[in-house]
């Protein structure tokens, strides 16, 4: 069955997008990403270490940009201007690459997004030719506004970044999905495989996560679990679940032929 994720006119086999932060070392990062099957991986843009020993390995040595679709993010940005500046640098860094993840934070304790700044940054970036995947609150009105501005995907939080609390408001997510004409991906808050499966069963086009894999006791094993959960959730969504009933008057086994 061909069921591809389509973002900004490019298709992907995997609906699991993963971050590359918080791993023990680059070898573990690579092993976990391989186990996840992810094709799109997020990276952060930071000042280069100057005076670094020349041969020191970098993330790019382990995850060559030719093998993956890099999704540079704006983690740590608290204003639209900082986020736009960061992504323009990312575009230069990645040879004109246009697919980016925008997140503008509002508060260092919760890392909750600042949607006023996020909307402003989305406008600038869309005008500037970027394909913008936007991390946002799970507010259906905001999600619609982002779509109208022209972002290529909205990525509402399941719960706070790095919290592992799972999907706190499935009802809002469902409204966002129902109203959207662009892909909706859950970004942030997934804690374990069932959370990812639920997001997909709700009809999300994909799930983006980092900490749920990187902070697991065995990240590589969890990466494989997430891959299966996203696939299982997607298939269950496409299959269409049976209606929920308090009890059923039709048993699964035949009522005839009982011994007496």
Partner 1 sequence: MQLTINGKARSFDLAQMNVAQLVEQLALVGKRLAIELNGEIVPRSQFADTQLSDGDKLEIVGAVGGG
Kindly list the catalytic residues.
101
Binding positions for partner 1, 64-83, rule CB under 8 A: 65, 70, 72-73, 75
Helix-helix angle 115-127:140-149, to 10 degrees: 20
Q: Are strands 5-7 and 10-12 parallel, antiparallel or unpaired?
A: antiparallel
Query: Edge to edge, what strands does the sheet with 185-187 contain?
Result: 16-19, 206-209, 185-187
* Beta-bridge partners for 69: 40
CB-wise, 21 or 106, nearer to partner 1? Answer: 21
Q: Are 187 and 157 contacting, i.e. CB atoms less than 8 angstroms apart? A: yes
CB of 177 to partner 1, least distance (A): 22
Q: Is residue 31 part of the contact set for partner 1 (CB under 8 A)?
A: no
187 CA to centre of own chain: 4
Reference 18, options 198, 234, 222; nearest CA is 222
CB of 214 to partner 1, least distance (A): 8
Q: Are 112 and 160 contacting, i.e. CB atoms less than 8 angstroms apart? A: yes
CB of 137 to partner 1, least distance (A): 17
Q: Is residue 36 part of the contact set for partner 1 (CB under 8 A)?
A: no
Q: Is residue 46 part of the contact set for partner 1 (CB under 8 A)?
A: yes
| Interacting residue with partner 1 among 42, 114, 124, 205 (CB under 8 A) | 42
Q: Is residue 150 part of the contact set for partner 1 (CB under 8 A)?
A: no
Q: State the residues that interact with partner 1 by CB under 8 A.
A: 19-23, 29, 42-48, 50-51, 54, 58-60, 65, 70, 72-73, 75, 85, 88-90, 92-94, 161-162, 209-211
């Amino acid at each position: 069955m061909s069921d591809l994720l389509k973002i900004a006119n490019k298709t992907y086999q995997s609906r699991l997008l993963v971050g590359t932060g918080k791993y023990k070392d680059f070898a573990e990062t690579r092993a976990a990403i391989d186990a996840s099957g992810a094709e799109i991986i997020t990276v952060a843009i930071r000042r280069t270490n100057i005076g670094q020993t020349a041969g020191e390995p970098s993330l790019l040595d382990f995850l060559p940009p030719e093998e993956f679709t890099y999704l540079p993010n704006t983690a740590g940005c608290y204003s639209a201007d900082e986020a736009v500046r960061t992504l323009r640098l990312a575009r230069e860094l990645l040879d004109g690459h246009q697919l980016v993840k925008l997140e503008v934070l509002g508060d260092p304790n919760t890392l909750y997004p600042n949607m006023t700044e996020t909307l402003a940054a989305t406008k600038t970036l869309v005008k500037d030719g970027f394909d913008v995947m936007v991390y946002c609150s799970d507010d259906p009105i905001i999600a619609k506004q982002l779509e109208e501005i022209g972002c290529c995907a909205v990525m509402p939080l399941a719960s706070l970044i790095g919290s592992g609390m799972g999907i706190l408001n499935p009802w809002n997510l469902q409204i966002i999905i129902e109203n959207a004409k662009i892909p909706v991906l859950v970004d942030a808050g997934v804690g374990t495989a069932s959370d990812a499966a639920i997001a997909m069963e709700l009809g999300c086009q994909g799930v983006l996560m980092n900490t749920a894999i990187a902070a697991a006791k065995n990240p590589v094993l969890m990466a494989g679990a997430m891959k299966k959960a996203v696939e299982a959730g997607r298939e269950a969504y496409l299959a269409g679940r049976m209606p929920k009933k308090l009890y059923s008057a039709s048993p699964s086994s035949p009522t005839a032929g009982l011994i007496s």
